[in-house]
Amino acid sequence: MPGNKGVVYEGPGKVEVHEIDYPGFELKDGPGVNPANVGRELPHAAILKTVATNICGSDQHMVRGRTTAPPGLVLGHEITGEVVETGPGVEFVKTGDLVSVPFNIACGRCRNCKEGKTGICENVNPDRPGSAYGYVDMGGWVGGQAEYVLVPYADWNLLKFRDKDRAMEKILDLAMLADIFPTGFHGCVTAGVGPGSTVYIAGAGPVGLAAAASAFLLGAAVVIVADLNKERLEQARSFGCETVNVALGEPRDQIEQILGEPEVDCAVDAVGFEARGHGSEADVERPATVLNALMDVTRAGGAIGIPGLYVTGDPGASDEAAKQGSLSIRIGLGWAKSHGFATGQCPVMRYNRQLMQAILHDRVQIAKAVNATPISLEDAPRGYHEFDQGAARKYVLDPHGLLSRMS
C-alpha cells in the first residue's frame, strides 16, 4: 500500500501538507466526520490516484477562519484522477480509468438524485441534504487535495474520459469540470443567459471567469465582469469581457457607459458572503452588497444566478445577523422587478458531460480563461497564500508530477 500526503487545514490562515491515511473502503472517525457516518462501509467506492486537484475559493473561506471547519480537516473537492482500486460493489468503473469527480457527493438513489438535484443528495450527509469532499459540515468525506482519495458511489459519480491520451492533452481544461466550469455555467443557465444576452457577472475570481466563459459559450452578446482587483479584471478582458471596477463606485453608471443603458438581461453572483462594499466602502465588508447591486442592475423580469457561496454560520462576520447567515437584502426590489433567483450547490452532473465535449472539441478554452496554473502538492501553502492575496490564477495541485510532464 503506498503512502499518502494531503493538504490539511490547521487553523485560520494556516494550511500544511501532512502524511495522511491511505483511503480504505470504510469512513473512519476524524476531523469533521459526522458521528453518524463513522464506520460507514463503502463497497460502492473507488480509490483514485489524484492527477489534478484544485484550490477553490470555497476552500479559502475555511482557511480564512470564516466557517466552523475544525483543524485537521483534509481539504479539497475539485478532483481529477485515475482509478487504482474499486470496491466489490463497483460494476462499471475499472482500474486505469481516467475520471472527473463532481464535487457534489451523491448516492444516485434518493429522490433528489433521481430528479437530477445531485447537490442536495439526501443520503450522504446526516446533518442536511448536500455534501462535498473535504468541506465543513458536509458529512466528513476526506478531501481530495491529496495523492490518493476515495470516491463513494463510483459508478454514479465518476465521469470517465474514454480516450486517456486525448484527455491528458487537455487535462488542465478537464480539471475544471469538477467544480468551477459547471458552477459558472450553472450560474449562467439559471440566470437565463442565451444568444444575444447582456450579462453582468459580479466577481472575477475563477468562478466568475468560468461564468464569463460559459456566457460566451451560451451565446451572450456582451459579458461584463466586475471586481475590485485590477489584475483579475485584466484577466477577464483577456478573453473578450467588458469590465467594471466597483472600487470606483456602483456598477450602474459604468454599465450604462458600456451598453448605453444601466441594466442587463441577466446577472450572476460569483462573490458570495465575503463581499465588500463599492466605491468608498470598497475596503469594508458588506455581505449583501453584491446581491443588492445585482437586483439594481438586472432588468425587470430578468433572473439572477447565485453560485457564490453563502453560509449559515460565519464566525468572522462583521455583525451578529451575518454570523447566522442573515443579510440585509432588498428583497422588495427583487420582488417589484419580478426577478428570478437560483441558489445552492451546482448539480455538476447536470452539465459536466456536455462541457467535457465542449473542451475536447475545442469550443472553449476554460483553463486559459481562468489562468490555470499547476503547482506541486508541497507548494499548496504558497498557492493558498497567493490566492488569498488576489492572484489572478486558478491553482491546480499536481501531486504526482503528471501535469508537469504534459507541459
Whether residue 229 sits in one domain with residue 169 = no
∠ CA(281), CA(232), CA(361), 5° rounding? 140
Whether residue 199 sits in one domain with residue 286 = yes
Q: With beta carbons less than 8 A apart as the criterion, state whether 213 and 239 touch.
A: yes
E strands of 258-328, at which residues?
264-269, 298-306
Domain final residue, candidates 315, 343, 371: 343
Q: Could you tell me the three cell numbers for 86?
A: 474499486
Whether residue 256 sits in one domain with residue 205 = yes
Whether residue 282 sits in one domain with residue 362 = no
For 306, residues 6+ apart whose C-beta sits below 8 A from its C-beta are: 187, 190, 268, 269, 291, 341, 342, 343
SS3 253: helix
Q: With beta carbons less than 8 A apart as the criterion, state whether 192 and 339 touch.
A: no
pLDDT at site 407: 55
Give the integer Cα–Cα distance in Å for 205 and 390: 8
SS3 23: coil
Whether residue 242 sits in one domain with residue 157 = no
Q: The domain that contains 306 carries what CATH number?
A: 3.40.50.720
Whether residue 284 sits in one domain with residue 236 = yes
Give the integer Cα–Cα distance in Å for 248 and 385: 26
Whether residue 254 sits in one domain with residue 138 = no
Q: The domain that contains 159 carries what CATH number?
A: 3.90.180.10
Amino acid sitting at position 294 = L
Please list the ranges in the chain whose pLDDT falls under 50: none
Give the integer Cα–Cα distance in Å for 29 and 342: 35
Domain count, the chain: 2
For the four alpha carbons of 309, 104, 298 and 355, in that order, the dihedral sign comes to positive
Give the integer Cα–Cα distance in Å for 208 and 187: 9
Alpha helices in 298-396 (DSSP H): 320-323, 331-336, 352-360, 366-369, 380-388
Give the integer Cα–Cα distance in Å for 295 and 336: 10
The pTM is what? 0.96
Whether residue 221 sits in one domain with residue 315 = yes
Whether residue 329 sits in one domain with residue 186 = yes
Give the integer Cα–Cα distance in Å for 151 and 155: 10
Give the integer Cα–Cα distance in Å for 333 and 339: 9
Give the integer Cα–Cα distance in Å for 234 and 390: 13
pLDDT at site 314: 79
pLDDT one-digit tens code per residue, 272-313: 988 888 988 888 888 889 999 999 999 999 999 999 988 888
Whether residue 64 sits in one domain with residue 46 = yes
Domain final residue, candidates 297, 325, 343: 343
Owning domain of residue 253: 180-343
Whether residue 352 sits in one domain with residue 329 = no
Q: With beta carbons less than 8 A apart as the criterion, state whether 373 and 395 touch.
A: yes
Domain final residue, candidates 343, 360, 376: 343
Give the integer Cα–Cα distance in Å for 103 and 124: 13
Whether residue 318 sits in one domain with residue 189 = yes
